[in-house]
Structure 1
Amino acid sequence: MRSDPAANVSISLLARASSGDVAARDQLISEYVPFILKTASKVAGRYLHQGVDEEISVAMLAFNEAIGAYTKTKGSFVGFAQTVIKRRLIDYYRKKNSGPAEVLLSELEHEDPQGHVLQTQIDFMAHRVWRDKLSQEVRVQEIAELEQALHAFGMHVAELPKISPRHQDARQRAIAVSHHIAHSARHREYFWTRKELPIKDLVLETGISRKVIERHRKYIIAITLILVSDWPYLQHYVRGRIQDE
């Protein structure tokens, strides 16, 4: 029986593809086409056809993105790729149906000339409900992944409401520090490997005092984790809070 290529990913091939080897990347994508189709079809809730359904293109791009973004700290490559594909497809559906979709009861009762009820709107509503449920599942998954990431820093999700700075200016300074870390490859590496903040450098580069950074250390860590991870719903929530202020 032929083995599933997704279960036997070549570490060396993945490493070459991640480092910019175009031939290795093309080979990896080619070997994973069945996996990509299967994952995308599962998210779509129906069988997808190459060259027909746009979701396949979205999934292929997501898999290509996963190759470039993958690191050992993100667990297995297969699991990471599945997550990226799922999230990009949810983003695709959300943008595609961003407008209100009100369906009147009368629209569900149209009949064709033979008297058969047309299923188009019913199917659309069922798929919309399913997609909303899937979005909720992704939100729950993101929170679970955040909890796991926080645990590595000696923190828990339950702490987050308590560690948020009370004053707006303090929050803004803390968020500015998080953004500074997120946009610096050197600081991100330090953050992930040391599991702590590069406080000395942050004081020098941001002009924010050591006292402020240390006082809001946990909040800065939590926001930084959200900014540097692939959690679109949590990132959307954080950016919305920032804009509201």
Structure 2
Amino acid sequence: MLLLLWKRWFSPPSDPDSPQMQGGTPEQRVEAIQAGDEAQREAFIVQYRPFITKTASRVCRRFIDPERDDEFSVALAAFNEAINRFTPNAGSSFIGFADTVISRRLIDYRRQEMRHAQSIPYSSFTDDEDNGQGYLNRMENAAAVEVYEQSREAEDRRAEIAALSERLADFGIRFTDLVDHSPRHRDSRLVLLRIGTRLGQTPELWQMLTEKRQLPVKELCIIEGVSRKTVERHRKYLIAVSLIAAGPYPCLRQYISLEYDKQEGTPS
């Protein structure tokens, strides 16, 4: 049964991206949809249902049942959002863009669910004649919610680190390499955080990095007013920061902002 489900949702019999089979690339079909072809939208979403399910399952780290799990509805809405928002000059493929949007919306959904768990009314735990037991129940519930939230945040961080490690591998970088290539001085870190964030948030620079797998050294030096030696020496660190700044890594993004947030000129 599990094998059948896996084949059904994760191993479509044909390549959904095949232009010959679908009358165009995903980018071309999205362009047609944005031009007003709503019939194409429905067919496109149905075709990529396995991709939506697979992405949701990866982010949630469990199999997402399209017929039962709310997470699939969130992912489906995010895929439709990606269709509406995608621009060809953004420097990424539509599938990569859709993956990012789905991941972000699911992370937001999970955090909303955790906040909702904290808003359980006190009346659910009190009784006029409980002699203070309701107060104890509330304290125990608050502590349990806090532990649960910390656990989920830790799980989110682990998932983000695993996803980032795969992304870094595309550039020939191991996560452990960052330990050896991280700047030791605070001032240097602030400069490199600024440069890496700029790289991740500037479409032209980001496109050069993701398409050519090369750091746009010359352009960064001109824009940021730093030496070529500084950029080249910290290539791996800058790429890692840019991936975090541009990707679906809200937990890791908090870490790269811890020092920089308090400084003037904080990146938005």
Name the TM-score, length of structure 2 as normaliser. 0.61
Distance 1:169-1:157 versus aligned 2 partners, 3 A rule? same
Distance 1:65-1:230 versus aligned 2 partners, 3 A rule? farther
What percentage of residue pairs aligned between the two structures are identical? 32
Residue 149 (1) aligns with residue 167 (2): yes
Distance 1:193-1:220 versus aligned 2 partners, 3 A rule? same
- Aligned residues of 1:163 and 1:216 also touching (Cα < 8 A): yes
Distance 1:20-1:47 versus aligned 2 partners, 3 A rule? same
Deviations 1:192-231 (A, max 9, x none): 2332311112112221121222232221111012112222
1:1-245 matches, within 5 Å, as: 4=8, 7-8=11-12, 10-11=16-17, 12=19, 13=22, 14-19=26-31, 21-22=33-34, 23=37, 24-30=40-46, 58-66=74-82, 68=86, 71=93, 74=96, 81=99, 85=102, 87-98=104-115, 101=118, 135-244=153-262
Counterparts of 2:52 and 2:216, CA distance in 1: 39
Distance 1:64-1:129 versus aligned 2 partners, 3 A rule? farther
Structure 1 vs Structure 2 CA RMSD: 4.8
Counterparts of 2:242 and 2:50, CA distance in 1: 35
Counterparts of 2:260 and 2:196, CA distance in 1: 12
- Aligned residues of 1:5 and 1:31 also touching (Cα < 8 A): no
Counterparts of 1:55 and 1:153, CA distance in 2: 31
Distance 1:86-1:196 versus aligned 2 partners, 3 A rule? closer
In structure 1, what residue type is equivalent to 2:77? Answer: L
Query: Can you give the 5+ residue segments of structure 2 that lack an aligned partner in the other structure?
Result: 128-137, 264-268
| Aligned residue in 2 for 1:114 | none
In structure 1, what residue type is equivalent to 2:232? Answer: E
Deviations 1:30-85 (A, max 9, x none): 45569868958x959998989xx9866533332224554973895xx9xx74x854
Counterparts of 1:169 and 1:86, CA distance in 2: 33
Give the SS at the match of 1:21. Answer: helix
Counterparts of 2:195 and 2:240, CA distance in 1: 12
Distance 1:161-1:73 versus aligned 2 partners, 3 A rule? farther
How far the C-alpha of 1:146 sits from its partner, in A, is: 1.8
Deviations 1:110-154 (A, max 9, x none): 8xxxxxxxxxx9xxx999977765654443232122222223333
Counting matched residue pairs gives 227
